[in-house]
Protein backbone atom coordinates (compact mmCIF):
# COMPACT_ATOMS: atom_id res chain seq x y z
CA UNK A 1 0.00 0.00 0.00
CA UNK A 2 1.05 3.58 -0.66
CA UNK A 3 -0.20 6.44 1.50
CA UNK A 4 -1.05 9.65 -0.33
CA UNK A 5 -2.33 12.92 1.06
CA UNK A 6 -5.27 14.64 -0.60
CA UNK A 7 -5.73 18.38 -0.16
CA UNK A 8 -9.24 19.21 1.03
CA UNK A 9 -9.96 22.80 2.01
CA UNK A 10 -7.20 23.81 4.40
CA UNK A 11 -6.52 20.23 5.52
CA UNK A 12 -5.34 16.94 4.02
CA UNK A 13 -7.02 13.54 3.83
CA UNK A 14 -4.72 10.50 4.10
CA UNK A 15 -5.61 7.65 1.75
CA UNK A 16 -3.96 4.28 1.19
CA UNK A 17 -3.93 2.97 -2.36
CA UNK A 18 -2.62 -0.34 -3.67
CA UNK A 19 0.77 0.06 -5.28
CA UNK A 20 -0.44 -1.91 -8.32
CA UNK A 21 -3.16 0.69 -8.92
CA UNK A 22 -1.16 3.88 -8.38
CA UNK A 23 0.13 4.39 -11.89
CA UNK A 24 1.39 7.95 -11.63
CA UNK A 25 1.43 11.10 -9.52
CA UNK A 26 1.23 14.27 -11.59
CA UNK A 27 3.58 16.82 -10.10
CA UNK A 28 6.47 18.88 -11.32
CA UNK A 29 9.74 17.07 -10.77
CA UNK A 30 11.95 20.07 -10.02
CA UNK A 31 9.62 22.63 -8.48
CA UNK A 32 11.52 25.65 -7.10
CA UNK A 33 11.26 26.08 -3.34
CA UNK A 34 10.61 29.81 -3.43
CA UNK A 35 12.66 32.95 -2.88
CA UNK A 36 14.17 33.57 0.54
CA UNK A 37 13.42 37.30 0.56
CA UNK A 38 9.92 37.97 -0.78
CA UNK A 39 9.89 41.80 -0.42
CA UNK A 40 13.25 41.96 -2.20
CA UNK A 41 11.89 39.92 -5.12
CA UNK A 42 8.82 42.15 -5.44
CA UNK A 43 11.01 45.25 -5.32
CA UNK A 44 13.36 43.78 -7.93
CA UNK A 45 10.47 43.30 -10.34
CA UNK A 46 9.09 46.80 -9.80
CA UNK A 47 12.50 48.39 -10.33
CA UNK A 48 13.29 46.29 -13.41
CA UNK A 49 10.08 46.35 -15.47
CA UNK A 50 9.66 44.29 -18.63
CA UNK A 51 8.76 46.22 -21.77
CA UNK A 52 8.03 49.39 -19.82
CA UNK A 53 9.74 52.41 -18.26
CA UNK A 54 9.97 52.61 -14.46
CA UNK A 55 6.92 53.90 -12.60
CA UNK A 56 8.54 57.32 -11.88
CA UNK A 57 8.88 57.79 -15.65
CA UNK A 58 5.23 56.92 -16.22
CA UNK A 59 3.33 58.51 -13.35
CA UNK A 60 3.27 62.23 -12.65
CA UNK A 61 2.79 63.85 -9.26
CA UNK A 62 -0.81 64.15 -8.04
CA UNK A 63 -2.03 61.53 -10.53
CA UNK A 64 -5.09 59.48 -9.64
CA UNK A 65 -4.30 55.77 -9.60
CA UNK A 66 -6.26 52.52 -9.29
CA UNK A 67 -4.57 49.31 -8.19
CA UNK A 68 -6.50 46.14 -8.97
CA UNK A 69 -6.28 43.18 -6.58
CA UNK A 70 -7.55 39.62 -7.00
CA UNK A 71 -10.59 38.74 -4.89
CA UNK A 72 -11.10 36.14 -2.17
CA UNK A 73 -11.37 33.24 -4.62
CA UNK A 74 -7.74 33.61 -5.67
CA UNK A 75 -5.88 34.15 -2.40
CA UNK A 76 -3.29 36.38 -4.09
CA UNK A 77 -1.14 37.98 -1.34
CA UNK A 78 -1.78 41.67 -1.85
CA UNK A 79 -0.06 42.26 1.47
CA UNK A 80 3.17 41.48 -0.45
CA UNK A 81 2.53 43.30 -3.72
CA UNK A 82 0.53 46.39 -2.79
CA UNK A 83 2.71 48.07 -0.09
CA UNK A 84 5.79 48.48 -2.33
CA UNK A 85 3.56 49.85 -5.09
CA UNK A 86 2.09 52.39 -2.67
CA UNK A 87 5.54 53.44 -1.51
CA UNK A 88 6.74 53.83 -5.10
CA UNK A 89 3.67 55.87 -5.98
CA UNK A 90 4.31 58.11 -2.98
CA UNK A 91 7.84 58.69 -4.29
CA UNK A 92 6.27 59.66 -7.63
CA UNK A 93 4.34 62.37 -5.80
CA UNK A 94 1.04 60.47 -5.61
CA UNK A 95 -0.50 60.75 -2.12
CA UNK A 96 -2.45 57.86 -0.59
CA UNK A 97 -5.72 59.75 -0.94
CA UNK A 98 -5.27 59.65 -4.74
CA UNK A 99 -5.01 55.86 -4.76
CA UNK A 100 -7.93 53.41 -4.79
CA UNK A 101 -7.62 49.65 -4.57
CA UNK A 102 -10.33 47.77 -6.44
CA UNK A 103 -10.92 44.09 -5.76
CA UNK A 104 -11.32 42.67 -9.26
CA UNK A 105 -14.35 40.50 -8.51
CA UNK A 106 -15.66 40.01 -12.03
CA UNK A 107 -19.07 38.41 -11.48
CA UNK A 108 -18.17 37.11 -8.01
CA UNK A 109 -19.66 38.48 -4.81
CA UNK A 110 -18.11 41.46 -3.06
CA UNK A 111 -15.10 40.83 -0.84
CA UNK A 112 -16.03 41.07 2.83
CA UNK A 113 -14.14 43.52 5.07
CA UNK A 114 -12.33 40.78 6.98
CA UNK A 115 -11.39 39.10 3.71
CA UNK A 116 -10.06 42.41 2.40
CA UNK A 117 -7.84 42.81 5.46
CA UNK A 118 -6.54 39.27 5.04
CA UNK A 119 -5.77 39.78 1.35
CA UNK A 120 -4.03 43.17 1.47
CA UNK A 121 -3.07 43.47 5.12
CA UNK A 122 -4.36 45.73 7.87
CA UNK A 123 -1.97 48.55 6.95
CA UNK A 124 -3.11 48.81 3.32
CA UNK A 125 -6.76 48.41 4.32
CA UNK A 126 -6.47 51.40 6.66
CA UNK A 127 -4.14 53.40 4.42
CA UNK A 128 -6.10 53.66 1.15
CA UNK A 129 -9.67 53.30 -0.05
CA UNK A 130 -10.49 49.65 -0.81
CA UNK A 131 -13.64 48.75 -2.76
CA UNK A 132 -15.09 45.67 -4.45
CA UNK A 133 -15.99 45.88 -8.12
CA UNK A 134 -19.67 45.41 -8.92
CA UNK A 135 -20.27 44.13 -12.44
CA UNK A 136 -23.91 45.28 -12.25
CA UNK A 137 -23.19 48.82 -11.05
CA UNK A 138 -25.34 51.45 -12.80
CA UNK A 139 -22.40 53.79 -13.42
CA UNK A 140 -20.18 51.53 -15.52
CA UNK A 141 -18.35 53.47 -18.23
CA UNK A 142 -18.29 52.36 -21.87
CA UNK A 143 -14.85 52.62 -23.48
CA UNK A 144 -15.62 51.16 -26.88
CA UNK A 145 -16.26 47.91 -28.73
CA UNK A 146 -13.70 45.27 -29.71
CA UNK A 147 -13.34 43.86 -33.21
CA UNK A 148 -15.23 40.80 -31.95
CA UNK A 149 -18.14 43.05 -30.90
CA UNK A 150 -17.52 42.90 -27.17
CA UNK A 151 -18.89 46.10 -25.64
CA UNK A 152 -16.24 47.21 -23.16
CA UNK A 153 -17.69 48.69 -19.98
CA UNK A 154 -15.57 49.00 -16.85
CA UNK A 155 -15.70 50.21 -13.26
CA UNK A 156 -16.42 53.95 -13.09
CA UNK A 157 -13.56 54.67 -10.69
CA UNK A 158 -11.09 52.85 -12.93
CA UNK A 159 -12.41 54.63 -16.02
CA UNK A 160 -11.76 58.08 -14.57
CA UNK A 161 -8.24 57.73 -13.16
CA UNK A 162 -4.96 58.56 -14.86
CA UNK A 163 -3.43 55.13 -14.37
CA UNK A 164 -4.42 51.55 -13.59
CA UNK A 165 -1.86 49.19 -12.10
CA UNK A 166 -2.96 45.57 -12.45
CA UNK A 167 -1.78 43.08 -9.84
CA UNK A 168 -2.48 39.39 -9.75
CA UNK A 169 -1.23 35.83 -9.90
CA UNK A 170 -0.29 33.86 -13.00
CA UNK A 171 -1.44 30.28 -13.42
CA UNK A 172 -3.29 28.10 -15.88
CA UNK A 173 -6.81 29.04 -16.91
CA UNK A 174 -9.12 26.62 -18.65
CA UNK A 175 -10.34 28.92 -21.44
CA UNK A 176 -8.29 32.14 -21.20
CA UNK A 177 -5.11 30.06 -21.36
CA UNK A 178 -3.53 31.68 -18.32
CA UNK A 179 -4.71 33.85 -15.44
CA UNK A 180 -3.12 37.17 -14.58
CA UNK A 181 -2.33 40.17 -16.77
CA UNK A 182 -5.30 41.30 -18.83
CA UNK A 183 -7.74 39.26 -16.72
CA UNK A 184 -7.58 42.06 -14.15
CA UNK A 185 -9.64 44.04 -16.69
CA UNK A 186 -11.88 41.32 -18.15
CA UNK A 187 -13.45 39.89 -16.09
CA UNK A 188 -11.88 41.71 -13.12
CA UNK A 189 -13.32 45.22 -13.36
CA UNK A 190 -15.71 44.84 -16.29
CA UNK A 191 -19.49 44.88 -16.57
CA UNK A 192 -21.52 41.70 -16.67
CA UNK A 193 -22.45 42.14 -20.35
CA UNK A 194 -18.80 42.69 -21.27
CA UNK A 195 -17.79 39.54 -19.41
CA UNK A 196 -20.60 37.50 -20.95
CA UNK A 197 -19.76 38.64 -24.48
CA UNK A 198 -16.07 37.88 -24.04
CA UNK A 199 -16.58 34.52 -22.37
CA UNK A 200 -19.07 33.36 -25.01
CA UNK A 201 -16.02 32.52 -27.16
CA UNK A 202 -15.23 29.64 -24.80
CA UNK A 203 -16.87 27.12 -27.12
CA UNK A 204 -14.09 27.85 -29.62
CA UNK A 205 -11.69 24.90 -29.68
CA UNK A 206 -8.72 27.29 -29.38
CA UNK A 207 -9.91 28.62 -26.00
CA UNK A 208 -8.11 26.05 -23.87
CA UNK A 209 -5.75 25.76 -20.92
CA UNK A 210 -2.18 26.93 -21.47
CA UNK A 211 -2.80 28.47 -24.91
CA UNK A 212 -2.58 32.18 -25.77
CA UNK A 213 -1.79 32.25 -29.49
CA UNK A 214 -5.01 32.55 -31.52
CA UNK A 215 -7.07 32.07 -28.36
CA UNK A 216 -10.11 34.29 -29.10
CA UNK A 217 -10.89 34.99 -25.44
CA UNK A 218 -7.32 36.06 -24.71
CA UNK A 219 -7.12 38.22 -27.83
CA UNK A 220 -10.45 39.88 -27.05
CA UNK A 221 -9.29 40.56 -23.48
CA UNK A 222 -6.12 42.20 -24.75
CA UNK A 223 -8.04 44.41 -27.15
CA UNK A 224 -10.33 45.53 -24.32
CA UNK A 225 -7.45 46.11 -21.90
CA UNK A 226 -5.77 48.40 -24.44
CA UNK A 227 -8.79 50.70 -24.20
CA UNK A 228 -8.10 51.27 -20.50
CA UNK A 229 -5.39 53.30 -18.79
CA UNK A 230 -3.56 50.22 -17.58
CA UNK A 231 0.04 51.42 -17.69
CA UNK A 232 1.73 48.88 -15.42
CA UNK A 233 1.28 45.40 -14.01
CA UNK A 234 2.74 43.39 -11.15
CA UNK A 235 2.03 39.66 -11.23
CA UNK A 236 3.48 36.89 -9.11
CA UNK A 237 3.96 33.16 -9.46
CA UNK A 238 3.65 30.85 -6.47
CA UNK A 239 4.53 27.19 -6.15
CA UNK A 240 2.19 24.46 -4.93
CA UNK A 241 3.03 25.33 -1.33
CA UNK A 242 2.05 28.97 -2.03
CA UNK A 243 5.66 30.13 -1.79
CA UNK A 244 6.70 33.05 -4.00
CA UNK A 245 8.79 31.92 -6.96
CA UNK A 246 9.10 35.08 -9.00
CA UNK A 247 7.49 38.45 -9.64
CA UNK A 248 6.97 40.03 -13.05
CA UNK A 249 6.31 43.74 -13.55
CA UNK A 250 6.05 46.16 -16.44
CA UNK A 251 3.94 46.29 -19.57
CA UNK A 252 0.60 44.51 -19.16
CA UNK A 253 1.14 42.42 -22.26
CA UNK A 254 4.85 41.64 -22.66
CA UNK A 255 5.47 41.13 -18.93
CA UNK A 256 2.48 38.79 -18.74
CA UNK A 257 3.68 36.72 -21.70
CA UNK A 258 7.09 36.33 -20.05
CA UNK A 259 5.40 35.28 -16.80
CA UNK A 260 3.29 32.65 -18.55
CA UNK A 261 6.37 31.21 -20.23
CA UNK A 262 8.10 30.87 -16.87
CA UNK A 263 5.04 29.23 -15.30
CA UNK A 264 4.54 26.84 -18.21
CA UNK A 265 8.16 25.71 -18.07
CA UNK A 266 7.58 24.43 -14.52
CA UNK A 267 3.98 23.24 -14.32
CA UNK A 268 3.30 21.62 -17.68
CA UNK A 269 3.91 17.97 -16.82
CA UNK A 270 4.25 15.13 -19.30
CA UNK A 271 2.45 11.97 -18.17
CA UNK A 272 2.72 8.31 -19.17
CA UNK A 273 -0.67 8.22 -20.81
CA UNK A 274 -4.39 8.14 -20.12
CA UNK A 275 -5.60 6.62 -16.84
CA UNK A 276 -8.71 4.63 -15.97
CA UNK A 277 -9.24 6.76 -12.86
CA UNK A 278 -7.93 10.26 -12.17
CA UNK A 279 -8.05 11.26 -8.50
CA UNK A 280 -7.76 15.04 -8.32
CA UNK A 281 -7.65 17.59 -5.50
CA UNK A 282 -7.02 21.31 -5.17
CA UNK A 283 -7.26 22.70 -1.62
CA UNK A 284 -8.08 26.25 -0.61
CA UNK A 285 -8.75 28.70 -2.16
CA UNK A 286 -9.24 26.57 -5.27
CA UNK A 287 -11.95 24.34 -3.76
CA UNK A 288 -13.89 27.07 -1.93
CA UNK A 289 -16.90 26.10 -4.08
CA UNK A 290 -17.73 23.90 -7.06
CA UNK A 291 -17.57 26.87 -9.42
CA UNK A 292 -13.88 27.38 -8.62
CA UNK A 293 -13.07 23.74 -8.03
CA UNK A 294 -14.24 22.80 -11.51
CA UNK A 295 -10.83 23.88 -12.82
CA UNK A 296 -9.29 20.80 -11.21
CA UNK A 297 -11.86 18.59 -12.94
CA UNK A 298 -11.04 20.26 -16.25
CA UNK A 299 -7.34 19.48 -15.93
CA UNK A 300 -8.11 15.92 -14.85
CA UNK A 301 -10.24 15.24 -17.93
CA UNK A 302 -7.19 15.75 -20.14
CA UNK A 303 -5.66 12.47 -18.95
CA UNK A 304 -8.63 10.20 -18.25
CA UNK A 305 -9.57 7.46 -20.70
CA UNK A 306 -12.86 7.53 -22.53
CA UNK A 307 -15.20 5.58 -20.26
CA UNK A 308 -13.01 6.32 -17.25
CA UNK A 309 -13.72 8.05 -13.94
CA UNK A 310 -12.69 11.37 -12.41
CA UNK A 311 -12.75 11.37 -8.61
CA UNK A 312 -12.65 14.99 -7.45
CA UNK A 313 -12.01 15.86 -3.79
CA UNK A 314 -13.28 19.44 -3.50
CA UNK A 315 -14.45 20.70 -0.11
CA UNK A 316 -16.92 23.30 -1.51
CA UNK A 317 -17.77 24.89 1.83
CA UNK A 318 -19.54 27.70 -0.08
CA UNK A 319 -21.62 25.24 -2.11
CA UNK A 320 -21.97 25.55 -5.85
CA UNK A 321 -20.65 29.12 -5.80
CA UNK A 322 -22.68 30.65 -8.62
CA UNK A 323 -26.46 30.92 -9.05
CA UNK A 324 -26.41 30.87 -12.86
CA UNK A 325 -24.14 27.82 -12.81
CA UNK A 326 -26.70 26.01 -10.66
CA UNK A 327 -29.69 27.20 -12.69
CA UNK A 328 -28.22 26.16 -16.03
CA UNK A 329 -27.24 22.76 -14.63
CA UNK A 330 -30.87 22.23 -13.60
CA UNK A 331 -32.61 23.79 -16.60
CA UNK A 332 -30.53 22.39 -19.47
CA UNK A 333 -29.94 18.69 -19.05
CA UNK A 334 -28.05 17.84 -22.23
CA UNK A 335 -24.86 19.08 -23.83
CA UNK A 336 -26.81 20.08 -26.93
CA UNK A 337 -29.20 22.26 -24.92
CA UNK A 338 -26.33 23.94 -23.09
CA UNK A 339 -24.34 24.65 -26.25
CA UNK A 340 -27.40 26.12 -27.95
CA UNK A 341 -28.01 28.41 -24.96
CA UNK A 342 -24.38 29.57 -24.93
CA UNK A 343 -24.61 30.47 -28.62
CA UNK A 344 -27.86 32.41 -28.26
CA UNK A 345 -28.03 33.72 -24.69
CA UNK A 346 -24.71 33.31 -22.89
CA UNK A 347 -24.73 34.28 -19.21
CA UNK A 348 -21.58 34.09 -17.10
CA UNK A 349 -21.73 31.02 -14.89
CA UNK A 350 -23.63 28.84 -17.32
CA UNK A 351 -20.43 27.88 -19.09
CA UNK A 352 -19.34 25.59 -16.27
CA UNK A 353 -22.55 23.59 -16.54
CA UNK A 354 -21.66 23.22 -20.23
CA UNK A 355 -18.12 22.10 -19.47
CA UNK A 356 -19.25 19.51 -16.93
CA UNK A 357 -21.78 18.10 -19.39
CA UNK A 358 -19.07 17.97 -22.06
CA UNK A 359 -16.67 16.06 -19.79
CA UNK A 360 -19.44 13.61 -18.88
CA UNK A 361 -19.61 12.60 -22.53
CA UNK A 362 -16.16 11.14 -21.91
CA UNK A 363 -15.99 10.10 -18.24
CA UNK A 364 -18.03 9.75 -15.08
CA UNK A 365 -17.40 12.23 -12.26
CA UNK A 366 -17.54 11.43 -8.55
CA UNK A 367 -17.49 14.42 -6.20
CA UNK A 368 -16.29 14.24 -2.60
CA UNK A 369 -17.47 17.48 -1.00
CA UNK A 370 -19.36 19.13 1.82
CA UNK A 371 -22.24 19.91 -0.53
CA UNK A 372 -25.69 18.38 -0.11
CA UNK A 373 -25.49 14.98 -1.87
CA UNK A 374 -28.97 15.45 -3.34
CA UNK A 375 -27.91 18.77 -4.90
CA UNK A 376 -24.74 17.19 -6.30
CA UNK A 377 -26.70 14.37 -7.93
CA UNK A 378 -29.96 16.05 -8.94
CA UNK A 379 -28.71 19.51 -9.93
CA UNK A 380 -25.27 18.78 -11.36
CA UNK A 381 -25.68 15.10 -12.31
CA UNK A 382 -22.45 14.21 -10.50
CA UNK A 383 -22.08 11.16 -8.28
CA UNK A 384 -21.73 12.27 -4.62
CA UNK A 385 -19.46 10.47 -2.16
CA UNK A 386 -18.86 11.06 1.54
CA UNK A 387 -15.27 9.81 1.69
CA UNK A 388 -12.33 9.08 -0.58
CA UNK A 389 -12.71 5.37 0.23
CA UNK A 390 -16.37 5.41 -0.85
CA UNK A 391 -15.54 7.27 -4.04
CA UNK A 392 -12.64 5.04 -5.03
CA UNK A 393 -14.59 1.86 -4.26
CA UNK A 394 -17.34 3.06 -6.57
CA UNK A 395 -14.83 3.99 -9.27
CA UNK A 396 -13.25 0.52 -9.08
CA UNK A 397 -16.72 -1.01 -9.38
CA UNK A 398 -17.19 0.87 -12.64
CA UNK A 399 -13.81 0.29 -14.29
CA UNK A 400 -12.37 -2.74 -12.50
CA UNK A 401 -10.07 -3.47 -9.57
CA UNK A 402 -6.99 -3.47 -11.78
CA UNK A 403 -7.60 0.11 -12.88
CA UNK A 404 -4.66 2.43 -13.47
CA UNK A 405 -5.02 5.44 -11.15
CA UNK A 406 -3.34 8.79 -11.71
CA UNK A 407 -3.26 11.16 -8.73
CA UNK A 408 -3.22 14.94 -9.26
CA UNK A 409 -2.52 16.52 -5.85
CA UNK A 410 -2.56 20.06 -7.25
CA UNK A 411 -5.25 19.83 -9.86
CA UNK A 412 -5.62 23.52 -10.64
CA UNK A 413 -1.89 24.23 -10.78
CA UNK A 414 -0.30 21.47 -12.85
CA UNK A 415 -1.23 20.90 -16.49
CA UNK A 416 -0.83 17.27 -17.58
CA UNK A 417 0.01 16.55 -21.17
CA UNK A 418 0.58 13.32 -23.08
CA UNK A 419 2.75 14.95 -25.78
The CATH number covering residue 121 comes to 3.40.50.11440
| pLDDT above 90 for 342 | no
pLDDT score recorded for residue 348: 81
| Category of 121 on φ-ψ map: left (φ > 0), alpha (ψ -120 to 50) or beta | left
Residues 139, 67 share a domain = yes
Among residues 216, 250, 266, which one ends one of the domains? 266
Residues 259, 158 share a domain = yes
| pLDDT above 90 for 307 | yes
* Cα–Cα nearest to 63, from 54, 73, 55, 74: 55
Quick check: 246 and 37 in contact, CB under 8 A? no
User: Which residues sit opposite 102 in a β-bridge?
Assistant: 68, 131
Q: Any idea how long the chain is?
A: 419
Average pLDDT over residues 5-34: 95
Beta strands in 124-219 (DSSP E): 129-132, 141-145, 151-154, 163-169, 172-173, 177-178
CA distance 280 to 411: 6
Residues 90, 14 share a domain = no
The CATH number covering residue 296 comes to 3.90.226.30
pLDDT score recorded for residue 73: 83
Structural domain containing residue 213 = 38-266
- This prediction has a pTM of 0.87
Q: How confident is the model at residue 62 (pLDDT cuts 50, 70, 90)?
A: very high
Q: Is 33 domain-assigned?
A: no
Please state, as a whole number, how many other Cβ atoms lie within 10 Å of the Cβ of residue 54.
16
CA distance 81 to 236: 8
Average pLDDT over residues 219-248: 97
Residues 409, 291 share a domain = yes
Q: Is 31 domain-assigned?
A: no
pLDDT score recorded for residue 134: 98
Omega of the bond leading into 230 within 30 degrees of 0 (cis): no
Residues 154, 104 share a domain = yes
Residues 11, 118 share a domain = no
Residues 174, 77 share a domain = yes
Residues 277, 259 share a domain = no
By mean pLDDT, which of 23-32, 231-240, 259-268 is the weakest? 23-32
Residues 289, 158 share a domain = no
Residues 369, 249 share a domain = no
Q: Which residue has the higher pLDDT, 347 or 87?
A: 87
User: Which residues sit opposite 236 in a β-bridge?
Assistant: 169, 247
Residues 162, 66 share a domain = yes
pLDDT score recorded for residue 64: 99
Among residues 229, 251, 266, which one ends one of the domains? 266
Average pLDDT over residues 237-261: 96
| pLDDT above 90 for 74 | no
Q: How confident is the model at residue 277 (pLDDT cuts 50, 70, 90)?
A: very high
CA distance 249 to 236: 9
pLDDT score recorded for residue 382: 97
CA distance 333 to 284: 30
Average pLDDT over residues 392-411: 97
Q: Mean pLDDT score of the chain, rounded to an integer?
A: 96
Q: Is 387 domain-assigned?
A: yes
| pLDDT above 80 for 419 | no
Among residues 241, 266, 291, which one ends one of the domains? 266
Q: How many domains does the chain have?
A: 2
Amino acid sequence: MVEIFIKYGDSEIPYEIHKKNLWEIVETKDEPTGVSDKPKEIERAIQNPIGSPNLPQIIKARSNVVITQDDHTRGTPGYLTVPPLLNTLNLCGVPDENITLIFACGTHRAVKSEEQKKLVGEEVFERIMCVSHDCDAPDLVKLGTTSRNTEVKINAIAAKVDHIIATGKVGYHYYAGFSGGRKSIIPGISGRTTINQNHAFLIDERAVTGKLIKNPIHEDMIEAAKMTKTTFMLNIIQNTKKKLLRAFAGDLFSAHVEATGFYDSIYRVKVKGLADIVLVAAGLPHDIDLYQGYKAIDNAQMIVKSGGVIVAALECNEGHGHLVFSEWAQNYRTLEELEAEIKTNFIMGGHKAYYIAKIQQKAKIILISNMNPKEVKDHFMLEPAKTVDDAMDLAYTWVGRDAKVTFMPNGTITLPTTV
